[in-house]
Amino acid sequence: MSSTSNTNHLIKQLDREVDSLRTTLAFQVILLDNIVEWLEGELEHNEPVINGDEVLTDGTHDIHVGRSECADSLLSMINKWERSNNG
């Protein structure tokens, strides 16, 4: 193979790798957005129970409290990690 042919082959390999990395990164961004949206939904869903606006008689109040605490903690950690990565 000639030097030009080797260079072209290398460029094509690098282009494929860049495309693959872009696809992977896009998926990770979508995944994180979906996680954040779900966690925010958990907080919203459980808010009436936590605030006492909705009274549960089936003994699941503590489950709602725990889910909200977990969602809130995870959102805080995500925000902390994003801030630390942005300088």
pLDDT value at residue 55: 93
pLDDT of residue 1: 59
Residue linked to tokens 């460029």: 11
**HSE of 61 in the Cβ direction (CA atoms, 13 Å)?**
11
- Judged by DSSP in three states, 9 sits in helix
**Neighbouring residues of 8: CB distance < 8 A, sequence distance ≥ 6:** none
pLDDT digits (tens, 9 = 90+) for 42-74: 999 999 999 999 999 999 999 999 999 999 999
In this prediction the pTM is 0.80
